Structure 1
């Protein structure tokens, strides 16, 4: 698998992220329920149904809240998350959340996935603002109207049609929360996160330089540019700088093997 194709693991990791979130939330019950007011409630995952996770009473169908989870490969070529959230507002209860979980591989291009601080927003607000942005803020000459399903309530069944559908969306962009602006400050903060001592934004630029059509000369130029950034960054702890340089050296070795 090419490094630039790592984002395709997002769908594979989706179920794993959901399972880990459920497991973790139940393990840290003392944190979110210190007075044991919700002792009879447990976080559970539901497959292929909105939302992905429910905080539900074990002895009945009583639900306190739901969480819709989305994964985001932090080093994808697109600087913004490509995830789509299209659920209609009526399908979201007031307490429901939309949660975006960014991830990368531990050694940038290899290793086990590691997760970062998630983006958390009210699902109902996100759905309503998404539609408002699509109809009134976004600049377009196309039909900006949205078809909203009728008779929808929170915690729908698997067969319910709960997605809002734009009248015109040739680019398939409806539901991309990152393009509404609501994730801007969050994304900017993640751009500063360091992986092996190098800012995320620089790793993304580096990986973006590698396409199927990239020549060896172009690849070496990108590697040299990354090496210089590491060497000039005085604030990178030595072990992390060495780790980054080791990754560069390994990529150079792979280029030599192909020659």
Structure 2
């Protein structure tokens, strides 16, 4: 018996170019991509315990997301250079989809909402080398211009300082929902039932009480909605981890923090630090690069031990 043919993944979708706010939509995407050089945060973190490092995403995630919204409003000159949308601003509504909307700030202005952003902050040095958020919204409630935006962040000095953000992952919200369902039904490995019960809600910008989540027939592992596991972010994540923080690749910092916070002896940690430093500098022509990286890791490890 031949294997069933897997249908092609859904094609990217977005608003029609004839839409009156299409130029604004493009400008908002441009502003989102410019966040790394324009993000501002009033937070300053110091004295972090090693055991608390990986709690950053849950403890600071909401604050980072609000500061992303604040930064987008400060970027008005990028997304509204002619002041055509002076009566609109980005507003966070964390208990409703999407959790950020470009909304009229004055009454009797139509449309009330032009577009939305489902915003996910991601502490990039967390144990899992991928975002862990679950995205379950049904495709029908996503307006054509709505976006899913994942903003990776870390602390400026790795274990202290103010948060900084890196290049975000941007995808159409409806496309992301369709891709998630396609992967679950057709691409995912496993023997469990692969059907999905779609939400019956179809209107964009639903209320908090609307049941907008799709539900899998079977999900014993609780993995439905883990968009990163669908593979759609794979290329982006691979490229992102080549970026540097304090002069060292993010991939090396992520490995370092994972090892340091495990139950390991001092000698085990030193061996691991040397190995990570060596792997991070294999392509470097500097013969002293590995030594310097190992020293930087050891210095950071000592600071963690003292906190």
Bin the TM-score by the shorter chain.
Answer: 0.7 to 0.9
Give SS of 1:86's match.
Answer: coil
What is the deviation of 1:161? 1.3
Residue 16 of structure 2 corresponds to which residue in structure 1?
none
C-alpha RMSD of the superposition: 2.7
**1:1-259 mapped onto 2 (5 Å cutoff):** 2-3=49-50, 5-58=52-105, 59=107, 60=109, 62-228=112-278, 234=284, 245-252=295-302
**Pair 1:17–1:113, CA change in 2 (3 A):** same
Instruction: Tell me if structure 2 keeps the 8 A contact 1:91–1:154.
Output: yes
Whole-Å separation in 2 of the counterparts to 1:250 and 1:80: 23
Q: Unpaired segments of 5 or more residues in structure 2?
A: 1-47
The answer to which of 224-233 and 26-35 deviates more is 224-233
TM normalised by structure 2 equals: 0.74
What is the deviation of 1:2? 4.6
Higher relative contact order (CA 8 A, sep 6+): 2
Task: Give the ranges of 4+ consecutive aligned residues of structure 1 lying more than 4 Å apart after TM superposition.
Answer: 226-236, 241-244, 252-255
Whole-Å separation in 2 of the counterparts to 1:132 and 1:254: 43
The answer to which of 129-138 and 70-79 deviates more is 70-79
What is the deviation of 1:18? 2.6
**Pair 1:226–1:177, CA change in 2 (3 A):** same
Aligned length: 254
Instruction: Tell me if structure 2 keeps the 8 A contact 1:19–1:45.
Output: yes
Instruction: Tell me if structure 2 keeps the 8 A contact 1:41–1:55.
Output: yes
**Pair 1:94–1:246, CA change in 2 (3 A):** same
Whole-Å separation in 1 of the counterparts to 2:74 and 2:143: 25
Q: Unpaired segments of 5 or more residues in structure 1?
A: none
The answer to which of 18-27 and 219-228 deviates more is 219-228
